[in-house]
Amino acid sequence: DFHTLAHNVGDLSVIIHEKFTKFFRSLNSLQGLLARTISSINTLEKEHLQKTQENINNSLINLVMLTGKQTDSMILANEVSRQSADISKSMNTIVMNLQSQDATRQIVEHVITAIEKLCDDIQQADNNENNNFNPETLMDISIETLAVSRLQHAQLEKARKDFVKSVENILRNMQTIGDRVSLLNRDINSLGNANNALDNSFFKKIEGDISGLITTLMANSENREKLIDYIVTVSNDITDFSGFINDIEEIGENIELIAMNARIKAARVGAEGAALAIIAEHIQQNSLETQRHTASLLKLLKSTTGVATSLQNSREKSDDEVNMKPQQMMLDLEKQLHSFRGIQKTIGEMLTKTATMSDQIKMDLRKRIGSVSVHRVFDQSIGEISHQLQKLIRNIEIHTPELPLERVQERLRELEKNYTMESERSVHSAILTVDSAETADKKASAPTQENEPEFFDEFENFDLFDDGPAVGDPQMEQDEFSQNDSQTVGDNEEADDLGDNVDLF
């Protein structure tokens, strides 16, 4: 029996030795694999952190570049907006001056109407005088002529000055618009250059960063595959260890069974089997202790195997997703970049078109400013008429020193009701405040009627509104201006005519 027990224990010990030798060999291999896995994890972590830091730095640099360029573009855009606002302000001023010219036209029309009526009255009085001379009628005509002439002379002078000032203001604002357009064109060119620089350098830099980012993502994916392969290998080795533990448990159970058989045999033998019983008891206790340690180790290995299995399942579920993410990100980034390029191209085209239109506007303004002469024609023509009226007033004052000035002022007050425009009323009020003492001094120092011709004789051959052409005729010069102006803007355009209710725009 002792020999049988020893033989069984010896066979089991050989099996245990072989199993544990293989187990420890695998354990050493697993230890090396774990060491390599941990080293790979640390290396990948460092590389990942380094690549991530580089990408972050590049992104910050690009962000700073973009912010700087955007700030420059914003400054230029604000300057363009300011120049545009100044141009709009000058255009509004031009519109206001054009509207004021309609009032000037109405004043001139009122003057024409008043003088034409005066001429008719003089002609009628002249016809009556040839038939039956009446001094009272001549006095009435003189009063009417003096009052109307003084009033219309003042109205024409006011209209002439206002019109010339208005046109000069228009020309000055047109010149200002031309200068602003030049500055606007300069700023637009600067903005276009900034846009081109952004398109040529910045987006190329972004493309390079995107490529680097995609490369990093793909490399991380490959490294992840390697890491998962290491973990799977570890999981497989741990699974093999579980098989070893099962073998050891089975051997332990066999040892316990042998020990129990030995104790049974020792009990049957009696006193002679006491030594065998002691040996069998020790074998059984060692077997139980081995089983307890083996169960603890098996539990730990099963836990590790569970982690490895979970990693394996996670890998199988997320492989497709992980492989697709870099590609999808690349496509999204390429779409965004393409969209940015389209926007930049559109902005560039708009800036080029605006610059071209600015050049055309600037040249057109120069041509128009150089061709405007209507204010000089108006000033010359109205000045000539005003001069003749002034001579007429002077002759009346010289040849009729006994003319009652209070009747003239009374007639002026009567004429006030014919005016509806505030500017005409203001001129009328100024005429009524003429210093009578100064007028009396002029009458006292004036030559007598014997030394002067009849005051109407000088104007017999003068027609204030002759239809025929004359030197400085406003209609001829206006037609010439309109023709030059129409050639500037196009053969099919006609000169504008401002009416009472003209709609400028």
214 and 330 Cβ atoms separated by less than 8 Å: yes
The secondary structure of residue 201, as a DSSP letter, is I
Position 258 pLDDT exceeds 70:
yes
Is a pLDDT exceeding 70 seen at residue 480? no
Using the CB atoms, write b or e for 259-269: b if 16+ within 10 Å: beebbebbeee
Dihedral (CA of 312, 314, 320, 325) sign: negative
- Rg, the chain, Cα only: 58
CB burial of 77-112 (b: ≥16 within 10 Å; e: otherwise) equals eebbeebeebbeebeebbeebbebbebbbbbbebbe
Q: For the chain, give the number of residues.
A: 505
Q: Would you say 99 and 413 are in contact if contact means Cβ atoms under 8 Å apart?
A: no
For the ranges 108-117, 326-335, 347-356, 418-427, the lowest mean pLDDT is seen at: 326-335
Residue listed under structure tokens 């099919």: 492
- Which stretch of 70-74, 114-118, 325-329 has the lowest confidence by average pLDDT? 325-329
**Cα gap 315→324, rounded to integer Å:** 14
Per-residue burial over 127-162, b if 16 or more Cβ lie within 10 Å, else e, is eeeeeeeeeeeeeebbbbbbbbbbbbbbbbbbbbeb
Distance CA 365, CA 483 (A): 16
pLDDT band at 238 (very low <50, low <70, confident <90, very high): low
* pLDDT value, residue 250: 75
User: For the chain, where do the domains classified as CATH 1.10.287 start and end?
Assistant: 2-82+222-326
Outline where DSSP puts E strands in 252-352.
none
Q: What is the CA angle 74-79-81, rounded to 5?
A: 90
Nearest to 138 by CA among 400, 390, 408: 400
Residues 6 or more apart whose Cβ sits within 8 Å of residue 374: 167, 477, 478, 481
* Rounded distance between C-alpha atoms, residue 498 and residue 258, angstroms: 131
Please check the confidence at residue 2 and state whether its pLDDT lies above 70.
no
Alpha-carbon span 187 to 87, nearest angstrom: 14
Instruction: Tell me which amino acid residue 353 is.
Output: K
The CATH class given to the 2-82+222-326 domain equals mainly alpha
Average pLDDT over residues 158-186: 81
Residue whose structure tokens are 């590609």: 327
Q: What is the pLDDT of residue 474?
A: 38
Q: Per-residue confidence at 434, pLDDT binned at 50, 70, 90? A: low
- The sign one gets for the Cα dihedral 379, 435, 106, 388 is negative
- Inter-CA distances, 377 with 163, 260, 369, 383, 500, Å: 11, 141, 15, 10, 22
* Best CA proximity match to 174, nearest among 103, 101, 99, 93: 93
Q: Is the pLDDT of residue 383 over 80?
A: yes
Residue with tokens 């007598």: 448
Structure tokens at 306: 């569970």
From the list 165, 166, 160, the residue with the least C-alpha distance to 386 is 160
Phi first, then psi: give them for residue 109, nearest 5 degrees.
-60, -40
pLDDT of residue 326: 59
Residue 473 has pLDDT above 50, yes or no: no
**Are 6 and 255 spatial neighbours (Cβ–Cβ below 8 Å)?**
no
Average pLDDT, the chain: 69
Tell which residue, 504, 451, 498, 454, has the closest CA to residue 478. 498
pLDDT in tens, 20-55: 787 778 778 877 877 877 787 788 778 777 876 787
| CA–CA distance, 42 with 8 (Å, rounded to integer) | 50
Angle 222-226-227 (CA atoms, 0-180°, nearest 5)?
115
Residue 495 backbone dihedrals phi, psi, to 5 degrees: -65, 140
Burial annotation 453-486 (CB, 10 A radius, 16+ → b, else e): eebbeebeeeebeeeeeeeebbeebbeebbebbe
CB 176 within 8 A of CB 91: no
Percentage helix, strand, coil, to 5, in the chain?
Answer: 90, 0, 10
Looking at per-residue confidence, does 3 or 451 come out higher?
3
pTM: 0.47
